[in-house]
Amino acid sequence: MDNFENWESTLLLSIELLATLAFALSGIMEAARKRMDIVGVCVVGFLAAFGGGTLRDILLDQRPFFWVENEIVMWAVLALCILSISFMRQKHFELTEKTIQWPDALGLGLFTASGVAQSLAIGLSPTVAILMGTITGIFGGVLRDIVCNEIPVSFKDHRPYALCSFAGGLVYILMAAAEAEPWFCMTVCAVLTTLFRILAILNNWLLPAWRKD
């Protein structure tokens, strides 16, 4: 039993690390598109990578923060920032506005799963767990876009973003209520949230918006 619980903890940590790197890459791409220098790239990359998880830890009163407890991830993000700015060239800048959507979608799914899982683990209600998953999933991208002087993607492109995170979290809760194993709930939540976002992008699904006169 202890080995099984340790395996689930390892899966949760792996999901958290993958989500961090995915969002870091989305931040690096956005910073490159804005022609930032190495300091700007690192700042935007770190904000995108750690913003959602840090806000979740603050709201859940969890200490130390996940990136403080696992310091290796900070060095991984720093290395990713340096390598990216070293190899990205002018021809790549035009691509980043589109390609940023894919690591962003992956990070959304992974962080949603980790946010819901950690909330349920400390005994929070299903509703709060879904909201924490959504906050964890979207807040890094919000910080990334604000620092880059953009209206956050989750608010402006009219394609489901936060709604994909909410839907993935809801699936997690329904599966947990059916007594599915936590590792399975995390995996399905991450995959479905990412898939929902990718389908929204590819099919250009749009949410209702204010109409101009």
Per-position DSSP letters for 87-106, written without gaps between them: H--HHHHHHHHHHTHHHHHH
pLDDT tens column, 17-41: 888 888 888 888 888 878 888 888 8
With respect to residue 213, please indicate whether it lies within any of the assigned structural domains.
no
Between CA 18 and CA 164 the distance in angstroms is 19
Helix (H) or strand (E) holding 213: none
| Whether residue 3 has pLDDT greater than 50 | no
With respect to residue 36, please indicate whether it lies within any of the assigned structural domains.
yes
Q: Of 6-20, 39-53, 155-169, which gets the smallest average pLDDT?
A: 6-20
Residue 121: closest CA among 186, 191, 188, 168: 186
Where does the pLDDT of residue 4 fall: very low under 50, low under 70, confident under 90, or very high at 90 and above?
Answer: very low
CA gyration radius, the chain: 17
Residue 191: closest CA among 108, 134, 100: 108
With respect to residue 5, please indicate whether it lies within any of the assigned structural domains.
no
Who wins on pLDDT, 109 or 65?
109
Its domain, for residue 138, covers: 13-203
With respect to residue 139, please indicate whether it lies within any of the assigned structural domains.
yes
Between CA 58 and CA 66 the distance in angstroms is 11
pLDDT tens column, 173-193: 999 999 888 888 988 999 999
- Asked if residues 23 and 140 have their Cβ atoms less than 8 Å apart, the reply is yes
With respect to residue 162, please indicate whether it lies within any of the assigned structural domains.
yes
- Asked if residues 117 and 14 have their Cβ atoms less than 8 Å apart, the reply is no
The residue-averaged pLDDT of 201-211 equals 76
| Whether residue 195 has pLDDT greater than 80 | yes
- Asked if residues 126 and 33 have their Cβ atoms less than 8 Å apart, the reply is no
What is the residue-averaged pLDDT of the chain?
82
Write down the pTM of the prediction: 0.81
With respect to residue 4, please indicate whether it lies within any of the assigned structural domains.
no
Q: Token digits for 35?
A: 């022609």
Number of domains the chain contains: 1
With respect to residue 3, please indicate whether it lies within any of the assigned structural domains.
no
Where does the pLDDT of residue 140 fall: very low under 50, low under 70, confident under 90, or very high at 90 and above?
Answer: confident
Q: What is the CA 27 to chain-centroid distance, rounded?
A: 11
Q: Of 33-42, 49-58, 139-148, 152-161, which gets the smallest average pLDDT?
A: 152-161
With respect to residue 171, please indicate whether it lies within any of the assigned structural domains.
yes
By three-state DSSP, how is residue 179 classified? coil
Whole-number pLDDT of residue 83: 82
Q: Token digits for 108?
A: 């959304």
Where does the pLDDT of residue 6 fall: very low under 50, low under 70, confident under 90, or very high at 90 and above?
Answer: low
